[in-house]
Amino acid sequence: MNAVEGKSIKILHILGSAGRGGTEEITYALVSHMKEDFLNELCFLSKRGPIGEELEHKGFKVYYLPLANPWVTPMVALRLYGLLRTNRYDILHLYGLKANFLGRILGRLSRHKRILGALHSQYPSGIKKPWTLWLDRLSFGLSRGYVSNSQAAIDFLTAHGYKHRKFWLIHSGIDIEPFRMRDEKEREKIKQRYNLLPDKLVITCVAGLRPPKGHEYLITALYQLERQGADFGALLVGFGPLRPELERLVQDLGLSAKVRFLGLVGREEIPQILAITDIFVLPSLSEGLPTAIIEAMATGCAVVGTSVGGTPELVIDGETGFLANPRDPESLAQKMAQLLKDSQLRQKMGEAGAKRVTETFTLDKMVQRYEALYKELVT
């Protein structure tokens, strides 16, 4: 059954979580914008979550098979095998270490031949642990390969023995319309909503409050800026287990008046926050291709990222923003200080970044490339 024969291509996307995250948001955008030639269903190896519920509301068929602990894994595996045996899919698209490991084995046992992985970080699990590479390679040969959203991830895995011919590169893309640059009057209204002074420069980070995102280095860099007399407000957007620890760090450094934690905000609120942002910072220690940077660039923000993963594929150092060293608050502070002092440089980099996103990282381009790949696999 394929598009060549005039029928829909049926795809099952298997993800580890139905919560909000970069991988989940990309998948949501992908399946929501594909042509009617494709019939997408989704299976989450977790309990119900916001992304899964939004997809249900859009009319997608969604399954939940929670992997709560090792004791339920055999039961989940049996239910997933039953799902794959009952439904004949043209393609299984697997996201994350758990989904790839289970999906490859059960997919082959249920006689599915077109099994594809999604690679959104250098390590297949998203965690920098060597054992995850070993575990992933055990079943990698059962799949057609990985679709990666960054060249850096492909280079990393091929350097660790993966075959280069089993990778496709499709950069992530966004719908740029909500991120169009706003005029000054609208920016002032949004600033009032967040209780920010009109002339206050705003530094923003949008990222889960988890160790790989490096928030502690950003907070230390903000402290250095404050010691230098810089006037700014900082917004940290995101949710995660490190919030109490990071809030204590902000308090201990005397930054409570300058740094605000906004927590988890709705998808529609991100463009508004970025509209009042002068400098966007992502201090990650590891990355795939961060959607948060694409969104900031689309809005016209000057960006400071770290030279890890796929970030250098987005941020052209000295042109669309700056690249700082990871785990280096002095480097972050120096780049941010340069942008705080130079409004013309901020504007020039912001405009260059917005142009780069329009040319390379749009949702339409991403969807078209995935559709072409899916069609290629079934012909």
Closest by alpha carbon to 265, among 194, 180, 172? 194
At residue 206, what are phi and psi to the nearest 5 degrees?
Answer: -115, 110
200 has a pLDDT exceeding 60: yes
Q: What is the pLDDT of residue 64?
A: 97
Q: pLDDT digits over 322-358, tens only?
A: 999 999 999 999 999 999 999 999 999 999 999 999 9
Cβ partners under 8 Å of residue 170, min gap 6: 147, 148, 149, 366, 369, 370, 373
Does 177-360 match 3-173+363-378 at the fold level? yes
- If one compares 128 and 269, the residue with the highest pLDDT of the two is 269
Q: What is the pLDDT of residue 187?
A: 87
86 has a pLDDT exceeding 90: yes
Q: pLDDT digits over 55-71, tens only?
A: 999 999 999 999 866 55
- If one compares 125 and 175, the residue with the highest pLDDT of the two is 175
Percentage helix, strand, coil for the chain under 3-state DSSP, each rounded to 5: 50, 15, 35
Residue 266 pLDDT grade (very low, low, confident, very high; cuts 50, 70, 90): confident
22 has a pLDDT exceeding 80: yes
At residue 234, what are phi and psi to the nearest 5 degrees?
Answer: -120, 135
Q: What is the pLDDT of residue 71?
A: 54
Q: What is the pLDDT of residue 284?
A: 96
Mention the CATH class of domain 177-360.
alpha beta
- Give the residues across from 243 on adjacent strands: none
Average pLDDT, the chain: 93
* Domain limits, the chain: 3-173+363-378, 177-360
In this prediction, residues 12-33 reach a mean pLDDT of: 94
**CATH entry, 3-173+363-378, from 3.40.50.2000, 3.40.50.410, 3.30.2320.30, 1.10.3080.10:** 3.40.50.2000
Cβ partners under 8 Å of residue 280, min gap 6: 203, 204, 205, 206, 274, 292, 293, 296, 301, 302, 303, 304
Contact yes or no for 116/94 (Cβ under 8 A): yes
> Is the entire prediction scored with pTM above 0.85?
yes
Q: What is the pLDDT of residue 70?
A: 56
User: Residue 158 burial by CB count (10 A; 0-12/13-18/19+): exposed, middle or buried?
Assistant: middle
Q: Which of 82-96, 193-207, 362-376 has the lowest mean pLDDT?
A: 193-207
pLDDT above 70 covers a percentage of the chain that reads: 97
